[in-house]
Each structure stands twice: as structure tokens, then as C-alpha cells.
Amino acid sequence: MTRSGERLEVSLPTKCNLCPRACGANRAAGQRGVCGAADELRVARAALHFWEEPVISVGAGSGAVFFSNCPLHCVYCQNSDIAQGMHGIDISIDRLSDIFLELQKKGAANINLVTACHYAPQVKVALRDARTRGLVVPAVYNTSGYETTEAIDGLKDYVGVYLTDFKYWKDGPAHIGETDVSSGSDAARLYSHAPDYFDVATAALDHMVQQTGDPVYDKFCGERRLIRGVVVRHLILPGRVRESQYIMKFLWERYHTHVLYSVMNQYTPMKQFKTTPELSRTVSDEEYNTLLDYMDNLGIEDYFWQQGGTASESFIPSFDCTGVLPDKN
């Protein structure tokens, strides 16, 4: 189905509060926010992606659209080149709508919106247009979890699945290593300059769960596909097993089986960290197994986990703008 009429447009904020940073940038006038985005729409890759959870990467794979720039800027980011806006091409909303349909035509199980928070106005217009032209696969909102409740509520009519991180324990005094962090942790401040992360992510997750309800599946290419619901991801960081245990206990007691859990050991140090040297190594098998055993003891019977060898740069896709520009053939 082809588009007719005028070019798709959207009003960008003159005092941006799309993310919890609420930096107030005049995006409409081209001022760059904390996320790095101005009035453009920048995408670094749009392709079938096979490395999400099995209920997401179904059949031919997830139709992943990797957006450039990011509000959170974690110091250990594995996708730092696009998070800092160094990779990507500026495209129109019309082109983004076309990309969604092209991914569906390639057999994508869903449209996977990777770090789209700061482009939410454009993404919603593109999704709405693509739906009118035949897009039927669900949209997956792939996020760091650092979202406002208003942003999540605004996605109600657009997103079926939330694939959200829950990175850090509560902010407060703590020490590196296996100490008691029940009163707080320094990770969110040290690694993401976001001491409010726990409270913000919890409020956002509450709204995601309320919006989608319990997980709902269908069959796609003979496999089980998640079409509605929330997958909560937690990436274990080196030396912080105790904090991960607190996080998983909190999530289980708060959400129980109303969400799906995914615990990842794929942390990959992309450089040597002088000020946070604990980040300069991968997570050990002992650390990861300790967390998995803890989850089993909590009574979490069904969750996603990763086998050894995931901490590798080979698991990071090439942000070479594949699929972003129209095919000339």
C-alpha cells in the first residue's frame, strides 16, 4: 500500500522533557538535548536481529531499528558509537514508516524500536502511518528503563511489548564489591549519572505492566511470539552480584509472573576504565551462576538466561546504516 498526500511532519518540543533528564532543549529550533538529538531523526541500522529473547527473535528475527543518541549515556555502553550519535543517517518520518514495512516484508516478527525515547514524537507518527499502509506485526519498545510515566502512557496505542532494562539498585552509600547494599548503591551515579534511576525505572515499569497486562502470545512461523506484555532485562555487572540479587528479589516480589525476566551475562568491557576499574573485566561464571541460583531459590521457575561466550564484541551488530537508506535495486 502506497502513501498519498503530504510529507509526514511532527511538532517537536520547544522545551524538551521527553526523558527524565528534562533538559529543556528547544528541539524544534534545532537545539541539541542531553541525549544528543536536535530536530533530526537519526537511525544507525534497520535489519533482522536474532539476538533478543526467543519470544522476540522469532522466525526470521526481530525487525530491529537502532536509533542514534541516548539520554542515559552509561559509561560502559556497548553501543557507545550510536549512543553518542557518531553513527547513523538522518532520515524523514516517511522513510522511517517505509523501513517498518520493509522489515515486515522481510519476515520480521515485530518492529523492535531500540532506544527510541528521544524520537518518540516521530516514531509514533511513523507507526501510525505504517499501520494505515499494512503494518500488522507488533511494535516492541526496547528501552533502558529510564523513561517518564508520561512517555509510557503516550505509547499505549502504539506499543504491544516492552523490552526494558532494570539496571541499578537504589541510590545511596555503598562500596564496590560484595558488601551489603540493602540501604543503597552507588552504581547508578557512577555509571550513568542517574541517581534517580531506580525510582524512575520502577514508576515506568509499573505503567508498562498496567498498560499491557500479563504476557500474551501467538504463533509465528510455528514458534511462540510475544505480542503483548513486558520483558524485564537485568545485565549483571562485574563485582555487583549482591546488588543484582536485591534487584531480582524486588522485581519478583513486586511483579511476580506478570512480567517475563531475562538475566544477562553479556557485559563486554569496551575499554579499560581508569576511574571505575571494576568495569574493566567481564562477569565471571561464578558470579553469574550465583545470581541464577539465587533466582531459583526465590522461586522464579521460568526466565531467560544466557550461556557462556556472550561477552564478546561479535554480539554487537555493525552500525553501518544497513537498511536505513532505500534500496537502489
pLDDT in tens, 43-87: 999 999 999 999 999 999 999 999 999 999 999 998 877 888 778
Q: Give every CB contact of residue 66 below 8 A, 6+ residues apart in sequence.
A: 43, 44, 45, 46, 79, 82, 114, 115, 317, 319
* CB-based burial label for 312 (10 Å; 0-12, 13-18, 19+): exposed
Strand partners, 225: 218
pTM for the model stands at 0.94
Phi-psi region of 288 (alpha: psi -120 to 50; beta: other; left: phi over 0): alpha
Q: What is the pLDDT of residue 205?
A: 98
Q: How many residues does the chain have?
A: 329
Q: How far apart are CA 185 and CA 325, in angstroms?
A: 43
Q: Give every CB contact of residue 294 below 8 A, 6+ residues apart in sequence.
A: 245, 248
Q: What is the pLDDT of residue 97?
A: 98
DSSP 191: H
What are the Cα distances from residue 104, in Å, to 101, 127, 131? 5, 12, 11
Q: What is the pLDDT of residue 1?
A: 52
More confident residue, 167 or 172: 167
Q: Give every CB contact of residue 308 below 8 A, 6+ residues apart in sequence.
A: 265, 285
Residues 227, 269 contacting (CB under 8 angstroms): no
Q: What is the pLDDT of residue 82?
A: 85
pLDDT digits (tens, 9 = 90+) for 26-47: 999 999 999 999 999 999 999 9
> At 65, which helix (H) or strand (E)?
strand 62-67
Provide the grid cell at 287: 558470579
For residue 271, the tally of other CB atoms under 10 A from its CB is 10
DSSP 249: H
The residue to which cell 505503567 is assigned:
207
Q: How far apart are CA 328 and CA 243, in angstroms?
A: 50
pLDDT digits (tens, 9 = 90+) for 282-328: 999 999 999 999 999 999 999 999 986 565 555 677 889 999 999 76
Q: What is the pLDDT of residue 230?
A: 98
Beta strands in 127-254 (DSSP E): 139-143, 161-165, 216-220, 223-235
Q: What is the pLDDT of residue 176?
A: 46
Residues 151, 18 contacting (CB under 8 angstroms): yes
> In the chain, what are the domains?
42-315 (3.20.20.70)
Phi-psi region of 279 (alpha: psi -120 to 50; beta: other; left: phi over 0): alpha
Provide the grid cell at 131: 499501520
Confidence of residue 4 (pLDDT cuts 50, 70, 90): low
Q: What is the pLDDT of residue 100?
A: 98
Q: Supply the mean pLDDT for the chain.
A: 93
Rounded to 5 degrees, what angle do the CA atoms 191, 268, 41 make? 70
pLDDT digits (tens, 9 = 90+) for 246-287: 999 999 999 999 999 999 999 999 889 999 999 999 999 999
Q: What percent of the chain has pLDDT over 70?
A: 93
